[in-house]
Amino acid sequence: MKILCLHGRGSNNEIFQLQTAAFRAELEDFEFEYVQGTVPHTEGNWSLYTTAFPKAPLYGYYDPLRPSSIQQAEDDLIQLIKENGPFDGVLSYSGGTALAAQIIIRNALENPFSLPDERPFRFAVFINGVTPLKVFPIEEGTFTEMTMENSALVKEASSLLLRDSATRVRKNKNEFEDYDPAAIKAELMALETKTLTDGRLCLSDGKYGITRYDSGIDGILMDIPTLHVRCAEEEDFHHGLHMTQLCEPDQSTEYHHHNGEDFPRGHAEMKKIAQLIRETAERA
């Protein structure tokens, strides 16, 4: 059983290997292959695990403000799957779950009649799943006439990319001399917020738009077996709950932890997650 592993935003392979060590020990017959992001992440320590690796470079898979970065990450991962696969499943955390879901959804939309063994993965494990992003070319009639300033999307992106821990930068600041919060803010403010004809908001650079997949509009987009490990107390709809709603209910299993946006932990909890991963794989 070969599993592709995608770490969270602001992490790396070493951290993700540590986070998953306890339940990997319960899955000795599984093979785990880790793929590290390439977009440098400079934010200050935010979790138990990044604190444990204060000088290790951290990465994300794409710049969420750049359509080209998002598309390139998808293209690169699809190529990696072709060269290093096939993979039975994908194990992903936080920001990595969005990329994993984007690959699954893209394949389903482009190849609606593909057989299970022709898909990127036969099953998926999403830990603290983040709602995946959708990038699309701007065409006539894509938007209503409405253009919004200081929209909810801009506020949300600002709170994520320009929060205090991000603008402080990590302890090894000398390694990130090119990091410029003002440039991130300018990049964000250069995007326009527009309303799509289906009612959802998107950010646009004039050529491409970035929005989220929406189960209320797009329906169920993933029909493979999925395991959703998330914090039930999390108030943000886009940090776990919505990912479950994009998946076929009859093929989904949920496990709730109580560590917020951080990784689940504890011997009993990790043992249970390992059991659920195995059961999800066996359903595929």
- What's the half-sphere exposure (Cβ side, CA atoms, 13 Å) at 162? 17
Cα angle 128, 133, 135 (rounded to 5 degrees) comes to 165
Between the CA of residue 161 and those of 16, 92, 229, what are the distances in Å?
Answer: 22, 21, 25
Contact partners, residue 46, CB within 8 Å, separation at least 6: 10, 165
Give catalytic status of residue 151 as yes or no: no
If DSSP codes are grouped into helix, strand and coil, which group holds residue 57? coil
- Catalytic annotation, pick one of 11, 94, 204, 252: 94
Q: At what angle do helices 181-189 and 152-161 cross, to 10 degrees?
A: 170
Contact partners, residue 37, CB within 8 Å, separation at least 6: 7, 9, 11, 12, 59, 60, 61, 62, 73
- Contact between residue 34 and residue 17 where contact means Cβ atoms under 8 Å apart: yes
Q: How many whole angstroms separate alpha carbon 153 and alpha carbon 193? A: 7
- Contact between residue 104 and residue 6 where contact means Cβ atoms under 8 Å apart: no
Residue written as tokens 């992001």?
A: 37
Nearest to 276 by CA among 223, 227, 225, 224: 227
Q: How many whole angstroms separate alpha carbon 279 and alpha carbon 182? A: 47
Burial of 123 (0-12, 13-18, 19+ CB in 10 A): buried
Catalytic positions: 94
